[in-house]
Structure 1
Amino acid sequence: MTFHSSALNRDMPYRVYLPADVIPGQKLPVVYLLHGGDGGGFRDWSNDSDVVAYATRNLILVMPEGAFSYYMNAVEKPKDRYEDYVLQDLIRDVATRFPASDRREKRAIIGISMGGFAAIKWALSRPDLFVFVGALSPSIEVLHRDYKIRNKIPGIEEWWRLRTVFGPPGTASRRSSDPFVLVESAHPEQTPYMFIAVGEQEPFFEPNRRFARRLQERKFRFEFHTSPGIHNWSLWDAQIPACFDSLLQHMDLSH
């Protein structure tokens, strides 16, 4: 599926899976699935996991392309408005083409790694959009990484790409996207339910555990899961069933 994004001023692809049988006039819940920063982009979810099976639970599954954007409106590339592309253009296009509910109570988002960062950021900054947010191995600490001692070309390239998206370190633009900052001002009672899972051998393990501790201290509604594993699809595919069990419960679809 391809559509024209006004925010990006270009055509963007996405994959969508629907139940085999849809009752005429029925409006279905929608789950947006955000890919990570390394891999095949929007194809990853359906190519590397068994997530497509959940379309049989009367869900529309939408898998957009996000490049290496962190799904944010880039500070230093004003034309790369990826947040507006997903939260405005994509949601509108899905509602136009498919029998998708436009109610917050019937809309969820799940992301892995880079996509998990965006899912949590939007849970805290745009609580009006989703009833459930899932984050598998979210790169929650990306704005706190220290590249000073990294002189390899891949490290320099990543530092520059992150600066392009979020702006220079220490700036207001960075703080406005930082989950560790946003969690201090977000309203727990208004924020979507959050499902966070991370592998115990991942570099993201400690930052996610620290973030979950702060969620608990501020009395957000969430669950936090850890299990042996590294940052790859074997771990995420194993986390998907628990994530969708929680999603179905909080979308009142568990029966």
Structure 2
Amino acid sequence: MLSRRGLLAGSALALLAGCSSPPAGPPPGPPAVPEPTHPAALRDPVTVQRMHSAARGTDVDLVLITPEGVPASGLPVCLALHGRGAQARTFLSLGLPALLTAAVRAGTPPFAFAALDGDHYWVNVGSDDPQRMLTDEVPGWLAARDLRPPSAVFGISMGGFGALRFARAHPDLKAVATASAALFVSWPDARSRKVFADEANWRDSEPLLHTAELRPGSLGVWCGESDPFLGADRRLVKAVSPAVSRFSPGAHDDEYWRGVLPEIVKFVGERLP
């Protein structure tokens, strides 16, 4: 028969053994966070993010502009290509965010602009290929922000050259707009810019040598009557007969571009839905 002292000792040992035994399962922790089912939509009308472009071999600014007060999720997108010596942020200084918001409030269907940093007339020179960035990388960047792939393109000066080059490779674009497109009527003219790798590089890219690949119904051309590229842009209009062509007083400068931007925004927006 167990004594009272033995019974107490046995109970204590059993209690210690119970305390030192391993737990039946892992300790409780915070619940797992589920993977997002949709990309993150934009929250601000203007965002500027630094992105690495493997196609260009460098980091670039991605400037996204959406109409103020309109949900950005699922909006169609127009690429915005800047001129030589400028950058993607140039469209902010030109007042594009306010112009887009004003156009939408006046009845233009809402859409977004995506501006990128480019160079050397937006054509492939060496290992730097802006066109491949636009085609292969930008759609993924937009999808990650719950925006549609580009369905339109707009370019100023050098960006106009790049926009027309992009349009040749994407005939399904709904709108293509150029302001003061920097086009070249001859190789000596193009060579003087010290941009193209050689004559073959220029001939492969020059819009005036490939006008049959441009769709008249989706094209709009604007140029100032005092612009040095006026003659070349008139050749473009004569060869393609675009849906819209406007030659009005103005030079190759910000003042002219600010003046025609409202009409260009409306031109693009009316063709995207």
Q: Settle same-fold status: TM greater than 0.5.
A: yes
The offset of 1:121, in angstroms, is 1.8
The offset of 1:140, in angstroms, is 1.5
The offset of 1:226, in angstroms, is 0.6
Q: One-letter code of the match for 2:114?
A: V
Q: Which residue in 2 is equivalent to 1:225? A: 246
Q: One-letter code of the match for 2:90?
A: D
The structure 2 residue matched to 1:122, chosen from 140, 151, 166, is 166
The alignment covers a number of residue pairs equal to 218
Q: Which residue in 2 is equivalent to 1:211? A: 236
Q: Which residue in 1 is equivalent to 2:266? A: 245
Secondary structure of the corresponding residue to residue 70 of structure 1:
helix
Secondary structure of the corresponding residue to residue 63 of structure 2:
strand
The offset of 1:117, in angstroms, is 0.6
Q: One-letter code of the match for 1:44?
A: T
Q: Which residue in 2 is equivalent to 1:51? A: 96
State the distance in 1 between where 2:264 and 2:65 align: 18
State the distance in 2 between where 1:142 and 1:82 align: 23
Q: Normalising by structure 2, what TM-score? A: 0.72
1:9-24 matches, within 5 Å, as 9-23=57-71
1:1-255 matches, within 5 Å, as 1-23=49-71, 26-39=73-86, 41-47=87-93, 49-56=94-101, 57=104, 58-66=110-118, 68-74=119-125, 77=126, 79-96=127-144, 98-102=145-149, 107-128=151-172, 130-141=173-184, 144-146=187-189, 158-159=193-194, 162-163=195-196, 167-169=197-199, 171=200, 173-184=201-212, 186=213, 188=215, 193-216=218-241, 221-252=242-273
Unaligned runs of 5+ in 2: 1-48, 105-109
Q: CA RMSD in A?
A: 2.3
Q: One-letter code of the match for 1:70?
A: Y
State the distance in 1 between where 2:164 and 2:210 align: 10
Larger Rg over CA atoms: 2
Unaligned runs of 5+ in 1: 149-154
Equivalent residues of 1:212, 1:224 under 8 A apart: yes
Secondary structure of the corresponding residue to residue 229 of structure 1:
coil
Alpha-carbon displacement from aligned partner over 1:106-156 (angstroms, at most 9, x marks no partner): x2111100001111122223213x2111100000217644389xxxxxx5x
Alpha-carbon displacement from aligned partner over 1:218-251 (angstroms, at most 9, x marks no partner): xxx4211011111001001101111112112212
Q: Which residue in 2 is equivalent to 1:151? A: none
Q: Normalising by structure 1, what TM-score? A: 0.77
